[in-house]
Amino acid sequence: MTAGHPVALVTGAARRLGAAIARRLHAAGYDLALHFHGSVAEAAALAAELEAARAGSVLRLQADLAAFDRLPELVAHTVGRFGRLDALVNNASEFAPEAFGGIHPAHWDRMMAVNARAPFFLAQAAAPHLRATRGAVVNLSDVYASAPRADLAAYASSKGALEAATRALAVAMAPEVRVNAVAPGAILWPEDGIDPALRERLLAMTPLGRTGTPAEVAAAVLWLLRDATYTTGTVLAVDGGRGPG
């Protein structure tokens, strides 16, 4: 542990947006608990990179966030290692398109468990520690929470629930803890590809005319955690102006 550094628990931290957020927070002086599920090698590589920059600053934590009992354990391990908790970033997300009409309860339940239930109960477990440090929570939502696609009905519903939870937690954890969300637009395309026509349509709906970058999302997360001292219960769009329409 590096004495005196603020501490952040970041879920889904091994790759993509999560890794960008982890790097940005670490560069800003945070010690990190990096949660991951299946991305073992990526988590190890990221931890080694950050440890090389500042020894003793990173803890790796593996868990399936759909396993309810693992949630308080993540908070306990973080506080056990670093002695404090200043920030919780609920970045981990389950994303799986499914055509409406063919959605089964197992698909719905997985979306809700990872995307809405886990952030809520991680925040509840973290609340006493965050209150002690007057810390903050940032949840990663999605533009699809307010502008759903038909093949993302369950996913969009789970992100809508997360945004409602953000507002509820902001009230429940006030005044000591601020709770906000970031709703990215087109930042990273799905790893299994995207239909070129859909990609062009999404960019045409974006006034800035380009995809955003993970670094831009990470900057918004850091601002909400550290600098937005009179902001809580807010969903900050990082979407190039695309909006809910």
- Which active-site residues does the annotation give? 155
3-class SS of residue 235: strand
Instruction: At 15, give phi and psi (nearest 5°).
Output: -140, 170
Helix (H) or strand (E) holding 35: strand 31-36
User: Do 177 and 125 meet the contact criterion of CB atoms below 8 Å apart?
Assistant: no
Counting Cα atoms < 13 Å in the Cβ hemisphere of 132 gives 10
Distance of CA 61 to the CA centre of its chain: 15
The three-state (H, E, C) secondary structure of 118-161, written as one string: HHHHHHHHHHHHHHHHCCEEEEECCHHHCCCCHHHHHHHHHHHH
Cα–Cα distance between 35 and 81 in angstroms, integer?
A: 14
User: Do 74 and 62 meet the contact criterion of CB atoms below 8 Å apart?
Assistant: no
